[in-house]
Amino acid sequence: MSDQHSFETLAIHAGQEADPLTGAVVPPIYQVSTYKQDGVGGLRGGYEYSRSANPTRTALEENLAALEGGVRGLAFASGLAAEDTLLRTLLAPGDHVVIPNDAYGGTFRLFAKVVSRWGVEWSVANTSSPDAVRAAIRPETKAVWVETPSNPLLGITDIAAVAGVAHEAGAKLVVDNTFASPYLQQPLSLGADVVVHSTTKYMGGHSDVVGGALITADTGLGEELAYHQNAMGAVAGPFDSWLTLRGIKTLAVRMDRHTANAERVVDLLVSHPKVTQVYYPGLPEHPLHEVAAKQMRAFGGMVSFRVAGGEEAAVEVCNRAKLFTLGESLGGVESLIEHPGRMTHASVAGSQLEVPADLVRASVGIESADDLLADLTQALG
């Protein structure tokens, strides 16, 4: 399918042509491990073993590449599996990575507890400041890692500016685009070298599948990533790929509703006497609001806020919520609420990435906005 089509059309059709055997308009679930060869080395369509390639996964990977404006998309068993494969591809012992001072706790744990044992060094920088990133770069820096919007404080990084800083130093820029999704933001067009997704979140969108993705616009890097994907083996299974594809078809309409509902939630929170601070890039007072407006189509469905009364008050808000389900993860059609300090970001306690104890994070779903506001109002007390 031509990449000249609009996003909404690509989401439904890219990589998903009608099945040539039956005309099925949805790619079949090829729940198979191996494939008959037409003589030794005679592969049909390049398929020999489903760790190396599977037609259902191929459909998802082609779709991912089209949506992010890349040349190669790769699907993994989880977002962290994608990240691990990327790091093993880009880095070697003795190399250095700049990581953000606000990032998903699992990403921090991967750097601090796993990759560091392999001899890779890392340091923390405020990636909202290109100057801070520049100051953190060393001669051995091979990658700069960015989340924008970030998890959980909704920080914004100027992707084009930081891409310039990274490339001046000969480093790759990696952008975790999970919070925005490719519908709201396309980092490759702004200079990023690799985009990372937890497809568990907005891409799948229904809290029923775990997955991850890497997308790049560099053919050579795409081949390297594909080699390591096969060599390391943490690939997305066919049914998981099919579920993710099904979710992506409605990504555009879901993100529009997530954003509209989040804006209503933000309006409530900024005027509530028990809320001391609201984190949302759509707020004019957000320090990088103008950057977000420049590089994003809209501001997304994630909102974080701090509660008067400290940690116990924040925990109680989470416990009292009813329509907002208390749970980890994000990006599903149902609204979720959590306490990052005790849940998703417990792994960063005591580090430079430690989050405020009175912080609550909400993934605003696509339910009735009026019902969501009523639930938050009673939860805040």
The per-residue DSSP string of 317-361 comes to HHHH-SSSEE-S---SSS-EEE-TTTTTTGGGTTSTTPPPTTEEE
DSSP label at residue 114: I
Distance between CA 262 and CA 257 in Å, rounded? 8
Q: Which of 84, 95, 176, 375 is catalytic?
A: 176
**Given its phi and psi angles, is residue 20 left (phi above 0), alpha (psi -120 to 50 degrees) or beta?**
alpha
256 is catalytic: no
104 is catalytic: yes
- Beta carbons of 253 and 202 less than 8 angstroms apart: no
Annotated active-site residue in 104, 183, 202, 280: 104
Say which of 201, 297, 306, 361 is annotated catalytic: 201
- The tally of CA atoms less than 13 A away on the side-chain side of residue 140 is 11
Q: Which residues pair with 326 in a beta bridge?
A: 337
Token digits for 322? Answer: 């009813």
What is the C-alpha to C-alpha distance for residues 203 and 198, in angstroms, rounded to an integer? 8
Give Cα separations from 160 to 107, 169, 350 (angstroms).
22, 15, 31
Q: Are the C-beta atoms of residues 80 and 114 closer than 8 Å to each other? A: no
Of residues 51, 88, 249, 320, which has the active-site annotation? 51
Estimate the share of the chain in helix, then strand, then coil, as percent rounded to the nearest 5: 40, 15, 45
Active site residue 117: no
Residues catalogued as catalytic: 51, 104, 176, 201
